[in-house]
Structure 1
Amino acid sequence: MLNETGQDTASPWHEGELAMQRIIGVVERMDGPGRNFIRKAMPEQHRAFFPMLPFVVLGAVDAKGDVWATMRAGRPGFMSSPVPEALDVDLRRDPDDPAEAGMEDGDAIALLGIQLETRRRNRLNGVIRRTDAEAFRLRVGQSFGNCPQYIQPRAAAFVRDPDKPAAMRPVHSVNLDDRARRMVENADTFFVASHVDRDNGERQVDVSHRGGNAGFVRLGADGVLTIPDFPGNRFFNTLGNLLVNPKAGLVFVDFETGDMLQMTGRAEISLSSPEIASFERAERLWRFTPEHIVFRPDALPLRWSRNLDR
């Protein structure tokens, strides 16, 4: 893999991430942070963080190569770290979740632990070692934290047992209906999954948070989503992946109802479109064209409130 600085140890950045960093002239500046903050094991702070969470965001790739993002809930403690190189996740298989098809033994996945009320978030990727249908162990490939930028604070509460499945079945489609369009157009938060296959043959999956003011995602009449890329940490995990492999998966959550809208499709990065100027603070745009859409009513047993004092 390309090592821009000539140091002996390999850079953690892959070619797509380096290309994005090169475009804005920060390759050398980002080399040190990459080596210092992207680890092959979880620090103690992250190991203590994941067991506190009532949900986790996951990114997975199915056997067809389609990328899916999802959110899964469990009572705090459903995730634990027996050693710094592993995270144990106790989650029953969910046949309604299209991401399940990419969560078999040996599959590469990504996790985002995010605590909305405190705006903390930490990320992991690695390979599943599945022990049974109710649990798996993630062997850590990369572990790193993120800043709290663009996270909308919310407090979560359970409205049913997280082991109890939703009563309503998923609705599959190829076009966004009015209900789905409202979810996208009113959203202040969504999550995006992407992946690359690295030169050494290992698959690296990422799942990331995206946030802004309600309506920050523009939805065209043709069903294409236009998404601003705001100033950030310059890691370019998502855009770097999309530059190499344009496949992506998005999940939108209705925090008041527990509904989830999952879609897989293709993304295109726009670095110089005049439309960039119409998005306040945006540095570039990317567009996402859904190819398979899954609406899952009441999929999550949690409800979130913007009233953090309750």
Structure 2
Amino acid sequence: MGGYHRGEIAVQERAGFARQAGHARGAIGNTVPDVAVAFLAEQPHVVVGGTDERGRVWATQLTGEPGFLTVPGPHTLNIGVLPLPEDPLAAVLTGSRAGRGRVPIGMIGIEPATRRRMRMNGRAVRDGDGLRVELDQVLSNCPKYIQKREHHPAPAAAADTSAPVTRTAADSTELSPGQQRTLRTADTFFIATASDRGDADASHRGGNPGFVQVLSPRLLRWPDYAGNAMFLTLGNLELNPAAGLFVPGWETGTSLHLTGFARTVWDEERVARHPGAQRLVEFEITAVREIAAASPLRWSAPAFSRFNPPTAG
């Protein structure tokens, strides 16, 4: 995974960013820099993407007290927690064992308060009550489109660990009216993809509320803004349309998980209707899972990124 795969190269060339992508490739390594070791140690959460036992791609979030992310060696990340039993990736991650093959996962450590983020892709195996990930790719991303937020623990009543974590609705194949409202007002979500070889990636998407369009209970659309020219997400979609979205409930701790298939829209006339868009992405939903009280973290109201383009009228 040291270079770009053919899907990434195809998208870079079609978008006209092949030269920029060539320069950016030097930022992709497979070791965690010392400054990033300290950054990860301060984080209370990490977003993870992967493929479940049925071949569906999901994105999710793991949380813990700062220090639950450690780097015992430059090529290894330890995650000191396991997913909740209700988590869509729980079965594959909690069931992964040494000697039975490692599970490809993509990860993004993100600190909204400072608009810093770091992506890591590798292969995970269960290690006691946590995960050990051997890293294949490590790279930092720019702070564009990250909304600034400060985190704090949930109120004592909401953080009562004796209360079971429950789904707020049974898994479904389409969005409820409430979930549609959540997406229409979202300013942030995370997307997981995988290459045709199964190598996973997790990435951040942000914009002003309204940048995610709900076209129907089973179809979403969002603009693809200017980024780092690597096209790791769109490159995976070029080879494998399976994708998963995670929408955090910043104020409630609720996790909204979607899985389905995504495609890139290149039609210039359609793209031009969306301010700031260089392409569009359409996402067809095949399954929805919402988990109440999935996270003990609560976050302040956002300070929107100055890079956010206006939303389409």
User: What TM-score do the two structures reach when normalised by structure 2?
Assistant: 0.89
CA distance in 2 between partners of 1:162 and 1:109 (Å):
28
User: What letter corresponds to residue 77 of structure 1 in structure 2?
Assistant: G
Q: Which runs of 5+ in 2 are unaligned?
A: 304-313
Please point out which of 196, 218, 221 is paired with 1:223.
Answer: 218
Aligned twin of 1:246: 241
Deviation at 1:165, TM superposition (A): 7.4
Aligned twin of 2:176: 177
Aligned twin of 1:42: 32
1:198-213 equivalence runs, <5 A: 198=197, 203-213=198-208
CA distance in 2 between partners of 1:165 and 1:226 (Å):
39
CA distance in 1 between partners of 2:292 and 2:273 (Å):
33
Are 2:55 and 1:65 equivalent residues in the alignment?
A: yes
User: What letter corresponds to residue 166 of structure 2 in structure 1?
Assistant: R
Please point out which of 92, 100, 106 is paired with 1:110.
Answer: 106
Aligned twin of 1:302: 297
Aligned twin of 1:30: 21
CA contact (8 A) 1:11 1:31 kept: no
1:235-274 equivalence runs, <5 A: 235-272=230-267, 274=269
Deviation at 1:150, TM superposition (A): 0.1
Mean Cα deviation higher: 134-143 or 152-161 = 152-161
Deviation at 1:20, TM superposition (A): 0.7
| Deviation digits for residues 105-143 of structure 1 (CA, Å, limit 9, x no counterpart) | 4101011000000000001010113222x1111101100
Aligned twin of 2:195: 196
CA distance in 2 between partners of 1:62 and 1:108 (Å):
10
Q: Which runs of 5+ in 1 are unaligned?
A: 1-9
Change over 3 Å in CA distance of 1:182–1:222 after alignment to 2:
closer
| Deviation digits for residues 49-105 of structure 1 (CA, Å, limit 9, x no counterpart) | 111001110001112210000012110000100111101111034210002233224
Change over 3 Å in CA distance of 1:84–1:11 after alignment to 2:
closer
Change over 3 Å in CA distance of 1:276–1:82 after alignment to 2:
same
User: What letter corresponds to residue 272 of structure 2 in structure 1?
Assistant: A
Identity of aligned residues (%): 37
Change over 3 Å in CA distance of 1:73–1:59 after alignment to 2:
same
* 2:191 alignment partner, SS class: strand
| Deviation digits for residues 195-215 of structure 1 (CA, Å, limit 9, x no counterpart) | 0134xxxx3110000000011
User: What TM-score do the two structures reach when normalised by structure 1?
Assistant: 0.90
Aligned twin of 1:131: 127
User: What letter corresponds to residue 169 of structure 1 in structure 2?
Assistant: T
CA contact (8 A) 1:187 1:214 kept: yes
CA distance in 1 between partners of 2:44 and 2:162 (Å):
16
Aligned length: 293
Aligned twin of 1:282: 277
CA distance in 1 between partners of 2:159 and 2:34 (Å):
27
User: What letter corresponds to residue 3 of structure 2 in structure 1?
Assistant: P
CA distance in 2 between partners of 1:38 and 1:113 (Å):
16
CA contact (8 A) 1:18 1:240 kept: yes
CA contact (8 A) 2:196 2:239 kept: no
CA distance in 1 between partners of 2:300 and 2:237 (Å):
33
Mean Cα deviation higher: 70-79 or 19-28 = 19-28
Deviation at 1:183, TM superposition (A): 0.8
CA RMSD, 1 decimal: 1.9
Change over 3 Å in CA distance of 1:166–1:250 after alignment to 2:
farther
